[in-house]
Amino acid sequence: MSQNPLDLHAYSEMKDIMEEVLPELLKTFIEYMPDLLNDLNKAIADNEPDQLFGISHRMKSSSNSLGALGLAKVCESIEMIGRAGGIEGASELSAQLEEQLGEVIEFFEEELKSQG
């Protein structure tokens, strides 16, 4: 059973801490995470474990910083595959990542609408 992509408690804590800068962080996340996902899929298709590691590491960090802990866990699993020098299993995890990323982005877009 997969973990919820967004930990609402962790997100709420980040929201309290970041206050005014949160909308900009959410916009940045929404804009660049799909590009990173595309780059990640290209690294898988091109059999580039080093690229896979670097991209998934950035995605993990960004996800953690906004309380998307379940999403970060999937990124970490992909990161470990790349760190080990392979790509086997990354494609399946990337599909899971894409689905969860869509859910997180949808939530963040709703957050932006409610703030604006």
Scored b (16 or more CB within 10 A) or e, 41-58 reads bebbeeebbebbbbbbbb
Collapsing DSSP states into helix, strand and coil, what is residue 5?
A: coil
pTM: 0.92
Task: Report the domain count for the chain.
Answer: 1
3: in domain = no
Residues 94 and 44: beta-carbon distance below 8 Å = yes
Residue 1 has pLDDT above 60, yes or no: no
Q: Which phi and psi angles does 89 have, rounded to 5°?
A: 90, -15
39: in domain = yes
86: in domain = yes
In angstroms, the CA 18 to CA 107 distance is 17
pLDDT 10s digits, 56-107: 999 999 999 999 999 999 999 999 999 999 999 999 999 999 999 999 999 9
Q: Name residue 19's amino acid.
A: E
User: Domain limits at 61?
Assistant: 8-115
1: in domain = no
